[in-house]
Structure 1
Amino acid sequence: MAKQDPRPDAPFHVVLNAGSGHTDTELRCATIREVLEAAGRTCVLEIVHDGARLPETAARTAARAAREGAILVAAGGDGTLNAVAHEAVRHGCVFGVLPQGTFNYFGRTHGIPEDLRQAVHALLRARVRHVQIGMVNQRSFLVNASVGLYPRLLEEREHDKRQFGRSRVVALLSALKTALGRHRNLRIALELDGESRRLRTPTLFVGNNRLQMRQVGMQPLDHAVEEGRLAAIAPRPVGRWRMLGLLLRGALGRLGQAEDVVAFAFRSMTVRAPLLSGRRRVKVAVDGEICKLALPLRFEALDGRLALLVADPPQRAAGAGEAAGQDCAL
Structure 2
Amino acid sequence: MAFVLPPMFIVFNAASGQADTLRASEQVASRLRTAGQAHHIFVAQAPGELGSVIGRAVHGARDAGGAVVAAGGDGTLNAVAQAAWNSRLLMGVLPLGTFNYFGRAHGMPTELDDAVDALLRARPRPVPLGLLGERVFLVNASVGLYPRLLLQREQAKRRFGRHRGVALLSGLRTLLRGGSVMTLQLHAQGQMRVVRTRTLFVGNNDLQLHALGLREALAVEQGRLAAITLQPLSTLRTLWLVLRGALGRLDGAEGVDSFAFDRLVVQPRRRATSMQVAMDGEVLRMATPLVFQTAPHPLQLLVPPDEDEEPDA
- Name 2:231's counterpart in structure 1: 236
> For residues 25 and 289 of structure 2, what CA distance do their matches in structure 1 show?
42
| Partner of residue 12, structure 1 | 8
Amino acid at match of 1:221: E
Q: CA RMSD in A?
A: 1.8
- Kept in 1, the 8 Å contact 2:136–2:295? The answer is no
Q: 1:176 & 1:95 partners in 2: Cα distance?
A: 34
* Residues 145 and 314 of structure 1: CA distance in aligned 2, closer, same or farther (over 3 Å): farther
Q: Report the CA distance between 1:22 and its aligned residue.
A: 2.8
Structure 1 match to 2:278:
285
Residues 133 and 208 in structure 1, CA contact (< 8 A), matched pair in contact too: yes
94, 97, 108: which one pairs with 1:98? Answer: 94
Q: CA deviation at 1:123?
A: 1.4
Gap regions ≥5 residues in structure 1: 316-330
Cα 1:71–1:154, aligned 2, differ >3 Å: closer, same or farther? same
The CA distance in 2 between the partners of 1:235 and 1:9, in whole Å, is: 44
Partner of 1:190: 186
Counterpart amino acid of residue 240 in structure 1: T
Q: How far apart, in 2, do the equivalents of 1:250 and 1:103 lie?
A: 16
Report the equivalent of 2:103.
Answer: 107
Structure 2 residue runs of 5 or longer lacking an equivalent are 309-313
Partner of 1:42: 38
Contact between 2:90 and 2:302, CA under 8 Å: does it hold in 1?
Answer: yes
SS in 1 for 2:49: helix
- The CA deviation at 1:51 is 4.0
Question: How far 1:247 moved relative to its partner?
Answer: 1.6
1:271 paired to 2:266: yes
Deviation at 1:121, TM superposition (A): 1.5
Deviation at 1:24, TM superposition (A): 2.1
1:298 maps to a residue whose letter is V
Structure 2 CA distance, aligned partners of 1:66 and 1:96? Answer: 14
Q: Secondary structure at the match of 1:255?
A: coil
Cα-to-partner distance string for 1:117-160 (whole Å, 9 max, x where unaligned): 11112111110000010011111100000000100000000000
In the TM superposition, 1:22-101 aligns within 5 A as 22-101=18-97
Aligned pair in 2 of structure 1 residues 314, 105: CA closer, same or farther (>3 Å)?
farther
2:199–2:230 contact (8 Å) kept in structure 1: yes
- Answer yes or no: is the 8 Å Cα contact 1:72–1:88 preserved in 2: yes
CA distance in 1 between partners of 2:288 and 2:52 (Å): 25
Of 17-26 and 208-217, more deviation after overlay is shown by: 17-26
* Distance in 1 separating the partners of 2:211 and 2:164: 14
Residue 302 (1) aligns with residue 295 (2): yes
Instruction: Give the secondary-structure state (helix, strand or coil) at the position aligned to 1:222.
Output: helix
Residue 233 of structure 1 aligns to a residue in which SS?
strand
**Quick check: 1:21–1:102 contact (8 Å CA) kept in 2?**
no
User: Retained in 2: the 8 A contact 1:131–1:303?
Assistant: no
Partners in 2 of 1:118 and 1:42 — Cα distance? 18
2:18 is paired with a residue whose SS is: coil
Q: Hey, what's the Cα distance between the residues in 1 that align with 2:236 and 2:307?
A: 42
Once the 2 structures are TM-superposed, how far is the Cα of residue 237 of structure 1 from its aligned partner?
1.5
Q: Residues of 1 paired with 2:48 and 2:240: CA distance?
A: 37
1:288-320 C-alpha deviation (Å, 9 max, x unpaired): 0001100000000126510000111269xxxxx
Aligned to 1:325: none
Query: 1:253 Cα deviation (Å)?
Result: 1.3
The answer to whether 1:146 aligns with 2:142 is yes
Q: SS where residue 53 of structure 2 aligns?
A: helix
Residues 87-135 of structure 1, C-alpha deviation per residue, up to 9 Å, x if partnerless?
0011111000000000000011111011111111211111000001001
The equivalent position to 2:221 in structure 1, one of 221, 226, 230, is 226
Correspondence for 1:128: 124
Give yes or no for contact 1:78–1:288 (8 Å, CA) kept in 2: yes
TM-score, normalisation: structure 1: 0.89
Q: CA deviation at 1:55?
A: 2.7
Q: TM-score, normalised by structure 2?
A: 0.94
Q: Which digits, 9 at most, give the CA deviation of each residue in 1:190-211, with x for residues without a partner?
A: 1102211111100000000001
Moved more, 68-77 or 299-308: 299-308
**In 2, Cα distance between equivalents of 1:49 and 1:180:** 36
Count, aligned residues: 308
